[in-house]
């Protein structure tokens, strides 16, 4: 899947570490490790991320 933005390695509210893939204005995937790359990537390691607020 192609993403415009990937937020990498953020901590979800439940404690899991995950990548969030976004295409356009829609969150398309929340997975432990998304394959590939995107034109824009944000390193969120050590930060709390919550998909509704991305």
19 assigned to some structural domain: yes
Give the integer Cα–Cα distance in Å for 39 and 42: 10
Tell me how many domains the chain contains.
Answer: 1
Give the pLDDT confidence score for residue 54 in this predicted structure: 62
Question: pLDDT by residue (tens digit) across 10-35?
Answer: 999 999 999 999 999 999 999 999 99
Model pTM?
0.88
51 assigned to some structural domain: no
Read off the pLDDT band of 52 (50, 70, 90).
confident
15 assigned to some structural domain: yes
Give the integer Cα–Cα distance in Å for 28 and 46: 22
Question: CB neighbours (10 Å) of residue 20?
Answer: 24
pLDDT greater than 90 at residue 41: yes
**Domain range enclosing 19:** 5-42
């Amino acid at each position: 899947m192609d993403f415009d933005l990937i937020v990498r390695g953020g901590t979800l509210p439940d404690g899991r570490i995950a990548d969030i893939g976004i295409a356009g204005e829609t969150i398309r995937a929340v997975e432990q490790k998304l394959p590939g790359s995107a034109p824009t990537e944000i390193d969120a390691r050590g930060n709390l991320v919550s998909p509704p607020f991305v």
